[in-house]
Protein backbone atom coordinates (compact mmCIF):
# COMPACT_ATOMS: atom_id res chain seq x y z
CA UNK A 1 0.00 0.00 0.00
CA UNK A 2 1.53 3.32 -1.09
CA UNK A 3 1.23 6.61 0.81
CA UNK A 4 -0.46 8.36 -2.12
CA UNK A 5 -3.02 5.60 -2.60
CA UNK A 6 -3.87 5.95 1.09
CA UNK A 7 -4.02 9.73 0.63
CA UNK A 8 -6.39 9.23 -2.28
CA UNK A 9 -8.67 7.12 -0.07
CA UNK A 10 -8.46 9.80 2.61
CA UNK A 11 -9.33 12.73 0.31
CA UNK A 12 -12.13 10.73 -1.30
CA UNK A 13 -13.55 10.01 2.14
CA UNK A 14 -13.28 13.68 3.17
CA UNK A 15 -15.06 14.82 0.01
CA UNK A 16 -17.77 12.15 0.22
CA UNK A 17 -18.55 12.90 3.87
CA UNK A 18 -17.90 16.66 3.87
CA UNK A 19 -14.92 16.45 6.24
CA UNK A 20 -12.11 19.03 6.19
CA UNK A 21 -8.84 17.21 5.39
CA UNK A 22 -5.72 17.38 7.53
CA UNK A 23 -3.71 20.47 6.50
CA UNK A 24 -0.48 18.97 7.81
CA UNK A 25 -0.39 16.15 5.28
CA UNK A 26 1.51 16.53 2.02
CA UNK A 27 -0.26 15.41 -1.13
CA UNK A 28 1.12 14.38 -4.53
CA UNK A 29 -1.93 15.52 -6.51
CA UNK A 30 -0.89 14.09 -9.95
CA UNK A 31 -0.38 10.62 -8.46
CA UNK A 32 -3.54 10.89 -6.37
CA UNK A 33 -5.41 11.81 -9.55
CA UNK A 34 -4.16 8.65 -11.28
CA UNK A 35 -5.43 6.44 -8.47
CA UNK A 36 -8.69 8.41 -8.21
CA UNK A 37 -9.40 8.16 -11.95
CA UNK A 38 -8.82 4.37 -11.83
CA UNK A 39 -11.39 4.18 -9.04
CA UNK A 40 -13.85 6.65 -10.62
CA UNK A 41 -13.73 9.04 -7.64
CA UNK A 42 -11.75 11.96 -9.11
CA UNK A 43 -14.91 14.10 -9.63
CA UNK A 44 -15.86 13.57 -5.96
CA UNK A 45 -12.43 14.82 -4.84
CA UNK A 46 -12.35 17.77 -7.26
CA UNK A 47 -15.82 19.02 -6.29
CA UNK A 48 -15.13 18.43 -2.59
CA UNK A 49 -11.85 20.37 -2.81
CA UNK A 50 -13.76 23.56 -3.66
CA UNK A 51 -14.76 23.73 0.02
CA UNK A 52 -11.32 23.04 1.47
CA UNK A 53 -9.28 25.96 2.77
CA UNK A 54 -5.91 24.43 1.98
CA UNK A 55 -3.46 25.87 -0.55
CA UNK A 56 -2.00 22.40 -1.13
CA UNK A 57 -5.41 21.19 -2.25
CA UNK A 58 -6.43 23.83 -4.76
CA UNK A 59 -7.67 21.42 -7.40
CA UNK A 60 -9.42 22.41 -10.61
CA UNK A 61 -10.26 20.29 -13.60
CA UNK A 62 -12.39 21.56 -16.49
CA UNK A 63 -13.06 17.97 -17.62
CA UNK A 64 -14.70 17.24 -14.27
CA UNK A 65 -16.89 20.34 -14.58
CA UNK A 66 -18.08 19.01 -17.94
CA UNK A 67 -18.73 15.55 -16.45
CA UNK A 68 -20.82 17.07 -13.68
CA UNK A 69 -22.77 19.10 -16.23
CA UNK A 70 -23.55 15.96 -18.25
CA UNK A 71 -24.51 14.22 -15.02
CA UNK A 72 -27.05 16.98 -14.39
CA UNK A 73 -28.39 16.54 -17.92
CA UNK A 74 -28.73 12.77 -17.38
CA UNK A 75 -30.69 13.38 -14.20
CA UNK A 76 -33.08 15.76 -15.95
CA UNK A 77 -33.55 13.24 -18.77
CA UNK A 78 -34.05 10.40 -16.30
CA UNK A 79 -36.86 12.30 -14.60
CA UNK A 80 -38.46 12.88 -18.00
CA UNK A 81 -38.11 9.22 -19.06
CA UNK A 82 -39.51 7.88 -15.78
CA UNK A 83 -42.50 10.21 -16.01
CA UNK A 84 -43.27 9.01 -19.55
CA UNK A 85 -42.87 5.35 -18.60
CA UNK A 86 -45.13 5.66 -15.56
CA UNK A 87 -47.69 7.72 -17.48
CA UNK A 88 -47.91 4.68 -19.77
CA UNK A 89 -48.59 2.33 -16.86
CA UNK A 90 -45.01 1.07 -16.47
CA UNK A 91 -43.81 0.86 -12.88
CA UNK A 92 -40.16 1.92 -12.54
CA UNK A 93 -37.73 1.05 -9.76
CA UNK A 94 -34.40 2.92 -9.59
CA UNK A 95 -31.39 0.73 -8.76
CA UNK A 96 -28.11 2.13 -7.38
CA UNK A 97 -27.27 5.41 -9.13
CA UNK A 98 -29.25 8.32 -7.70
CA UNK A 99 -30.29 6.33 -4.59
CA UNK A 100 -26.59 6.18 -3.65
CA UNK A 101 -25.58 9.61 -4.99
CA UNK A 102 -27.91 11.31 -2.50
CA UNK A 103 -25.77 9.88 0.33
CA UNK A 104 -22.72 11.89 -0.82
CA UNK A 105 -22.00 15.44 0.38
CA UNK A 106 -22.18 16.57 -3.27
CA UNK A 107 -24.56 14.12 -4.99
CA UNK A 108 -23.78 15.18 -8.57
CA UNK A 109 -20.07 14.51 -8.06
CA UNK A 110 -20.85 10.78 -7.94
CA UNK A 111 -20.95 10.19 -11.68
CA UNK A 112 -22.33 6.91 -13.04
CA UNK A 113 -21.63 5.47 -16.45
CA UNK A 114 -25.27 4.37 -16.75
CA UNK A 115 -28.70 4.58 -15.18
CA UNK A 116 -30.39 1.38 -13.98
CA UNK A 117 -34.17 1.06 -14.03
CA UNK A 118 -35.92 -2.14 -12.97
CA UNK A 119 -39.19 -2.91 -14.79
CA UNK A 120 -41.55 -5.84 -15.09
CA UNK A 121 -40.55 -8.20 -17.91
CA UNK A 122 -43.99 -7.85 -19.51
CA UNK A 123 -43.29 -4.11 -19.97
CA UNK A 124 -40.00 -4.64 -21.80
CA UNK A 125 -41.16 -4.01 -25.38
CA UNK A 126 -43.35 -1.08 -24.41
CA UNK A 127 -40.49 0.53 -22.45
CA UNK A 128 -38.05 0.10 -25.32
CA UNK A 129 -40.52 1.72 -27.70
CA UNK A 130 -40.88 4.76 -25.43
CA UNK A 131 -37.11 5.12 -25.04
CA UNK A 132 -36.62 4.81 -28.81
CA UNK A 133 -39.16 7.61 -29.29
CA UNK A 134 -37.05 9.71 -26.92
CA UNK A 135 -33.82 9.44 -28.85
CA UNK A 136 -32.30 6.26 -27.44
CA UNK A 137 -30.85 3.47 -29.57
CA UNK A 138 -32.03 0.10 -28.29
CA UNK A 139 -29.28 -2.52 -28.46
CA UNK A 140 -30.11 -6.17 -29.03
CA UNK A 141 -30.43 -8.01 -25.74
CA UNK A 142 -27.76 -10.65 -25.23
CA UNK A 143 -29.09 -14.08 -24.30
CA UNK A 144 -28.92 -14.60 -20.54
CA UNK A 145 -28.50 -10.90 -19.89
CA UNK A 146 -30.65 -9.39 -17.16
CA UNK A 147 -30.95 -6.01 -18.86
CA UNK A 148 -31.31 -4.16 -22.17
CA UNK A 149 -28.93 -1.32 -23.01
CA UNK A 150 -30.42 1.89 -24.39
CA UNK A 151 -27.85 4.39 -25.68
CA UNK A 152 -28.00 8.14 -26.27
CA UNK A 153 -25.03 10.22 -27.42
CA UNK A 154 -26.22 13.11 -25.27
CA UNK A 155 -27.64 11.39 -22.18
CA UNK A 156 -25.50 8.26 -21.97
CA UNK A 157 -26.83 4.79 -21.23
CA UNK A 158 -30.00 3.59 -19.57
CA UNK A 159 -30.20 -0.09 -18.67
CA UNK A 160 -33.66 -1.60 -18.36
CA UNK A 161 -33.45 -4.48 -15.90
CA UNK A 162 -36.01 -7.27 -15.88
CA UNK A 163 -33.94 -9.30 -13.39
CA UNK A 164 -31.54 -8.18 -10.68
CA UNK A 165 -28.62 -10.36 -11.83
CA UNK A 166 -27.86 -12.57 -14.81
CA UNK A 167 -28.84 -16.23 -14.69
CA UNK A 168 -25.51 -17.74 -13.72
CA UNK A 169 -24.78 -15.25 -10.94
CA UNK A 170 -28.33 -15.38 -9.56
CA UNK A 171 -28.40 -19.18 -9.53
CA UNK A 172 -24.82 -20.14 -8.69
CA UNK A 173 -23.41 -17.26 -6.71
CA UNK A 174 -26.50 -15.97 -4.93
CA UNK A 175 -28.46 -19.24 -4.78
CA UNK A 176 -31.73 -17.74 -6.06
CA UNK A 177 -32.61 -16.89 -2.47
CA UNK A 178 -35.47 -14.61 -3.45
CA UNK A 179 -33.90 -11.66 -1.64
CA UNK A 180 -36.19 -9.11 -3.26
CA UNK A 181 -39.89 -8.56 -2.64
CA UNK A 182 -42.50 -6.27 -4.14
CA UNK A 183 -42.25 -3.99 -1.10
CA UNK A 184 -40.76 -0.86 -2.62
CA UNK A 185 -40.42 2.60 -1.14
CA UNK A 186 -40.87 6.06 -2.66
CA UNK A 187 -37.68 7.74 -3.82
CA UNK A 188 -37.28 11.50 -4.32
CA UNK A 189 -34.16 13.09 -5.78
CA UNK A 190 -34.19 16.47 -7.47
CA UNK A 191 -37.03 16.13 -10.03
CA UNK A 192 -37.10 12.32 -9.88
CA UNK A 193 -40.01 10.67 -8.12
CA UNK A 194 -40.43 6.93 -8.37
CA UNK A 195 -39.95 3.75 -6.36
CA UNK A 196 -36.77 1.98 -5.32
CA UNK A 197 -35.97 -1.10 -3.27
CA UNK A 198 -36.86 -0.91 0.40
CA UNK A 199 -34.03 -0.01 2.79
CA UNK A 200 -32.88 -3.54 3.64
CA UNK A 201 -33.25 -4.99 0.14
CA UNK A 202 -31.49 -1.94 -1.29
CA UNK A 203 -28.48 -2.71 0.91
CA UNK A 204 -28.57 -6.40 -0.03
CA UNK A 205 -28.68 -5.58 -3.73
CA UNK A 206 -25.90 -2.98 -3.53
CA UNK A 207 -23.62 -5.27 -1.51
CA UNK A 208 -24.20 -8.28 -3.78
CA UNK A 209 -23.58 -6.06 -6.81
CA UNK A 210 -20.30 -4.91 -5.21
CA UNK A 211 -19.28 -8.54 -4.61
CA UNK A 212 -20.13 -9.41 -8.20
CA UNK A 213 -17.76 -6.73 -9.46
CA UNK A 214 -15.12 -7.47 -6.85
CA UNK A 215 -14.86 -11.01 -8.19
CA UNK A 216 -15.54 -10.54 -11.90
CA UNK A 217 -13.79 -7.20 -12.39
CA UNK A 218 -14.35 -3.46 -12.81
CA UNK A 219 -14.54 -2.98 -9.05
CA UNK A 220 -13.67 0.41 -7.53
CA UNK A 221 -13.39 1.83 -4.01
CA UNK A 222 -16.43 3.96 -4.81
CA UNK A 223 -18.63 0.86 -4.74
CA UNK A 224 -17.30 0.09 -1.27
CA UNK A 225 -17.95 3.68 -0.15
CA UNK A 226 -21.50 3.43 -1.52
CA UNK A 227 -22.24 0.51 0.80
CA UNK A 228 -20.61 2.06 3.85
CA UNK A 229 -22.47 5.35 3.42
CA UNK A 230 -25.67 3.33 3.04
CA UNK A 231 -24.99 1.33 6.21
CA UNK A 232 -24.34 4.54 8.13
CA UNK A 233 -27.29 6.53 6.74
CA UNK A 234 -29.85 3.77 7.37
CA UNK A 235 -28.25 2.23 10.45
CA UNK A 236 -31.47 2.34 12.46
CA UNK A 237 -33.80 1.31 9.63
CA UNK A 238 -32.12 -1.85 8.33
CA UNK A 239 -33.71 -5.22 9.09
CA UNK A 240 -30.56 -6.92 10.40
CA UNK A 241 -32.29 -10.25 10.90
CA UNK A 242 -32.97 -10.49 7.16
CA UNK A 243 -29.59 -9.04 6.21
CA UNK A 244 -27.65 -11.43 8.44
CA UNK A 245 -29.68 -14.41 7.25
CA UNK A 246 -28.84 -13.67 3.60
CA UNK A 247 -25.16 -12.95 4.26
CA UNK A 248 -24.63 -16.05 6.42
CA UNK A 249 -26.47 -18.21 3.90
CA UNK A 250 -24.18 -16.99 1.11
CA UNK A 251 -21.05 -16.96 3.32
CA UNK A 252 -20.54 -13.22 2.76
CA UNK A 253 -20.84 -12.02 6.36
CA UNK A 254 -17.10 -12.13 7.00
CA UNK A 255 -16.46 -10.01 3.92
CA UNK A 256 -18.95 -7.39 5.14
CA UNK A 257 -17.02 -7.09 8.41
CA UNK A 258 -13.74 -6.74 6.48
CA UNK A 259 -15.32 -3.97 4.38
CA UNK A 260 -16.51 -2.15 7.50
CA UNK A 261 -13.02 -2.49 8.97
CA UNK A 262 -11.64 -0.97 5.76
CA UNK A 263 -14.07 1.93 6.11
CA UNK A 264 -13.00 2.62 9.69
CA UNK A 265 -9.27 2.42 8.89
CA UNK A 266 -9.07 4.15 5.50
CA UNK A 267 -12.33 6.07 5.05
CA UNK A 268 -12.32 7.32 8.64
CA UNK A 269 -15.79 6.19 9.58
CA UNK A 270 -16.41 5.79 13.31
CA UNK A 271 -17.07 2.42 14.90
CA UNK A 272 -20.36 3.87 16.19
CA UNK A 273 -21.51 4.36 12.58
CA UNK A 274 -22.21 0.61 12.32
CA UNK A 275 -23.94 -2.00 14.44
CA UNK A 276 -21.23 -4.56 13.65
CA UNK A 277 -17.98 -5.00 15.56
CA UNK A 278 -14.95 -5.91 13.47
CA UNK A 279 -12.69 -8.58 15.07
CA UNK A 280 -9.07 -7.43 15.58
CA UNK A 281 -7.80 -10.56 13.84
CA UNK A 282 -9.23 -9.17 10.59
CA UNK A 283 -6.65 -6.35 10.49
CA UNK A 284 -4.34 -8.21 8.11
CA UNK A 285 -7.28 -9.02 5.82
CA UNK A 286 -8.29 -5.34 5.79
CA UNK A 287 -4.76 -4.45 4.65
CA UNK A 288 -4.93 -7.18 2.01
CA UNK A 289 -8.18 -5.70 0.69
CA UNK A 290 -6.59 -2.25 0.46
CA UNK A 291 -3.58 -3.64 -1.42
CA UNK A 292 -5.86 -5.53 -3.76
CA UNK A 293 -7.76 -2.34 -4.61
CA UNK A 294 -4.41 -0.71 -5.36
CA UNK A 295 -3.59 -3.22 -8.11
CA UNK A 296 -7.02 -4.42 -9.27
CA UNK A 297 -9.30 -1.36 -9.39
CA UNK A 298 -11.12 -1.01 -12.69
CA UNK A 299 -9.63 -4.18 -14.22
CA UNK A 300 -11.77 -6.82 -15.90
CA UNK A 301 -11.17 -10.37 -14.67
CA UNK A 302 -13.13 -12.92 -16.69
CA UNK A 303 -10.83 -15.75 -15.60
CA UNK A 304 -11.59 -15.14 -11.93
CA UNK A 305 -15.31 -14.92 -12.76
CA UNK A 306 -15.21 -18.41 -14.30
CA UNK A 307 -12.97 -19.92 -11.62
CA UNK A 308 -15.29 -18.65 -8.91
CA UNK A 309 -18.32 -19.85 -10.86
CA UNK A 310 -16.73 -23.27 -11.31
CA UNK A 311 -16.10 -23.53 -7.55
CA UNK A 312 -19.72 -22.65 -6.81
CA UNK A 313 -20.96 -25.08 -9.47
CA UNK A 314 -18.93 -27.99 -8.05
CA UNK A 315 -20.06 -27.24 -4.49
CA UNK A 316 -23.71 -27.40 -5.61
CA UNK A 317 -23.72 -30.15 -8.24
CA UNK A 318 -20.69 -32.25 -7.25
CA UNK A 319 -20.40 -33.43 -10.85
CA UNK A 320 -20.99 -32.08 -14.31
CA UNK A 321 -19.31 -29.65 -16.67
CA UNK A 322 -19.35 -26.00 -15.60
CA UNK A 323 -18.49 -24.70 -19.09
CA UNK A 324 -21.51 -26.43 -20.63
CA UNK A 325 -23.70 -25.12 -17.81
CA UNK A 326 -22.47 -21.54 -18.33
CA UNK A 327 -22.70 -21.81 -22.12
CA UNK A 328 -26.31 -22.97 -21.87
CA UNK A 329 -27.43 -20.53 -19.17
CA UNK A 330 -25.70 -17.33 -20.22
CA UNK A 331 -25.19 -17.88 -23.92
CA UNK A 332 -28.20 -19.93 -24.93
CA UNK A 333 -26.38 -23.12 -25.90
CA UNK A 334 -25.06 -24.28 -29.26
CA UNK A 335 -28.16 -23.57 -31.33
CA UNK A 336 -28.48 -19.97 -30.12
CA UNK A 337 -24.80 -19.22 -30.72
CA UNK A 338 -24.31 -20.97 -34.04
CA UNK A 339 -27.65 -20.30 -35.72
CA UNK A 340 -27.66 -16.50 -35.78
CA UNK A 341 -29.18 -13.84 -38.02
CA UNK A 342 -27.57 -12.60 -41.21
CA UNK A 343 -27.13 -9.20 -39.54
CA UNK A 344 -25.11 -10.73 -36.70
CA UNK A 345 -22.99 -12.76 -39.10
CA UNK A 346 -22.19 -9.67 -41.18
CA UNK A 347 -21.23 -7.74 -38.04
CA UNK A 348 -18.94 -10.58 -36.98
CA UNK A 349 -17.56 -11.17 -40.49
CA UNK A 350 -17.71 -7.91 -42.51
CA UNK A 351 -16.31 -9.73 -45.56
CA UNK A 352 -19.80 -11.20 -46.05
CA UNK A 353 -21.05 -7.75 -47.11
CA UNK A 354 -18.88 -8.05 -50.25
CA UNK A 355 -18.75 -11.83 -50.69
CA UNK A 356 -22.00 -13.39 -49.43
CA UNK A 357 -21.02 -16.76 -50.96
CA UNK A 358 -18.49 -17.13 -48.13
CA UNK A 359 -21.37 -17.50 -45.66
CA UNK A 360 -21.04 -21.34 -45.31
CA UNK A 361 -17.30 -21.00 -44.61
CA UNK A 362 -17.87 -18.29 -41.96
CA UNK A 363 -20.70 -20.31 -40.44
CA UNK A 364 -18.46 -23.37 -40.13
CA UNK A 365 -15.64 -21.29 -38.66
CA UNK A 366 -17.99 -19.77 -36.06
CA UNK A 367 -19.27 -23.21 -35.05
CA UNK A 368 -15.74 -24.62 -34.80
CA UNK A 369 -14.52 -21.74 -32.63
CA UNK A 370 -17.57 -22.11 -30.37
CA UNK A 371 -16.99 -25.84 -29.85
CA UNK A 372 -13.29 -25.24 -29.18
CA UNK A 373 -13.98 -22.56 -26.56
CA UNK A 374 -16.50 -24.67 -24.67
CA UNK A 375 -14.83 -28.07 -24.73
CA UNK A 376 -11.09 -27.71 -25.36
CA UNK A 377 -9.66 -24.25 -24.61
CA UNK A 378 -7.85 -23.80 -21.31
CA UNK A 379 -7.38 -20.63 -19.30
CA UNK A 380 -4.09 -20.40 -17.44
CA UNK A 381 -4.24 -18.20 -14.38
CA UNK A 382 -1.53 -15.57 -13.98
CA UNK A 383 0.27 -15.08 -10.66
CA UNK A 384 -1.92 -12.09 -9.96
CA UNK A 385 -5.09 -14.13 -10.61
CA UNK A 386 -3.86 -17.00 -8.42
CA UNK A 387 -3.17 -14.49 -5.64
CA UNK A 388 -6.66 -13.00 -5.98
CA UNK A 389 -8.26 -16.47 -5.89
CA UNK A 390 -6.48 -17.13 -2.60
CA UNK A 391 -7.55 -13.73 -1.31
CA UNK A 392 -11.19 -14.41 -2.15
CA UNK A 393 -10.94 -17.67 -0.23
CA UNK A 394 -9.35 -15.88 2.75
CA UNK A 395 -12.24 -13.38 2.71
CA UNK A 396 -14.66 -16.26 3.06
CA UNK A 397 -16.30 -15.60 -0.30
Residues 177 and 276 in one domain: yes
Residues 157 and 245 in one domain: yes
* In-domain check, residue 65: no
Check residue 179 and give its pLDDT. 85
Residues 167 and 123 in one domain: yes
Alpha-carbon separation of residue 3 from 17, 26, 191, 284 (angstroms): 21, 10, 41, 17
Of the two residues 178 and 212, the one the predictor is more confident about is 212
Whose CA is closest to 330, among 116, 173, 150? 173
Asked if the model's pLDDT at residue 381 lies above 70, the reply is no
At 151, give phi and psi (nearest 5°): -110, 135
What number is the average pLDDT over the span 17-22?
93
Asked if the model's pLDDT at residue 368 lies above 70, the reply is yes
Asked if the model's pLDDT at residue 333 lies above 50, the reply is no
Residues 11 and 79 in one domain: no
- Summarised one tens digit per residue, pLDDT across range 22-75 is 888 889 999 999 999 999 999 999 999 999 977 778 888 999 999 999 999 888
The helix/strand/coil state of 395 is coil
Whose CA is closest to 216, among 166, 255, 176? 166
Check residue 329 and give its pLDDT. 72
* In-domain check, residue 67: no
- Summarised one tens digit per residue, pLDDT across range 291-330 is 999 988 777 767 788 888 888 888 887 666 777 777 777 6
Q: Cα(115)–Cα(73) distance, rounded to whole angstroms?
A: 12
For the chain, give the percent of residues with pLDDT over 90. 59
| Banded model confidence at residue 221, pLDDT cuts 50, 70, 90 | very high
User: Please, are residues 232 and 212 in contact by the beta-carbon 8 Å criterion?
Assistant: no
Torsional class of 95: left (φ above 0), alpha (ψ -120 to 50), beta (otherwise):
beta
User: What kind and span of H or E run contains 282?
Assistant: none
Check residue 307 and give its pLDDT. 84
How many domains does the structure of the chain reveal? 3
Check residue 142 and give its pLDDT. 73
Q: Identify the domain containing residue 46 by its residue range.
A: 3-60
What number is the average pLDDT over the span 195-221?
94
Residues 324 and 376 in one domain: yes
* In-domain check, residue 66: no
Q: β-pairing, 156-161 with 114-118? A: parallel
Query: In 3-state terms, the chain is what percent helix, strand and coil (to 5)?
Result: 60, 10, 30
Q: Cα(95)–Cα(165) distance, rounded to whole angstroms?
A: 12
Residues 21 and 162 in one domain: no
- Summarised one tens digit per residue, pLDDT across range 91-139 is 999 999 999 999 999 999 999 888 999 999 999 999 999 999 999 999 9
Q: Cα(194)–Cα(187) distance, rounded to whole angstroms?
A: 5
> Which residues are 138's β-sheet partners?
150
Half-sphere exposure of 247 (CA within 13 A, CB side): 21
DSSP 8-class letter at 152 = E
| Banded model confidence at residue 378, pLDDT cuts 50, 70, 90 | low
User: What kind and span of H or E run contains 364?
Assistant: helix 359-375
What number is the average pLDDT over the span 233-239?
97
Amino acid sequence: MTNEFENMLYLFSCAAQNIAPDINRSYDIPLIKKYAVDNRVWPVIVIGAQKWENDNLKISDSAVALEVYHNLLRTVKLAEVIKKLENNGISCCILKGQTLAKLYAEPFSRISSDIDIYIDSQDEKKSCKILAENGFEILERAFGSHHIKCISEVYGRIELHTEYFDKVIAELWFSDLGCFSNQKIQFDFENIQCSTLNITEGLIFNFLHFIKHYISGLVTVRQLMDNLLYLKAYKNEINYEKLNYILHKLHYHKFLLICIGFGIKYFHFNEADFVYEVPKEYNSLILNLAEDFLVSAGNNDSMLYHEYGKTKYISKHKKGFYRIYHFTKNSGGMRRNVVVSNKTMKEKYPILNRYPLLYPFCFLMRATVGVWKVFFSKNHASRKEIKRLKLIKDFGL
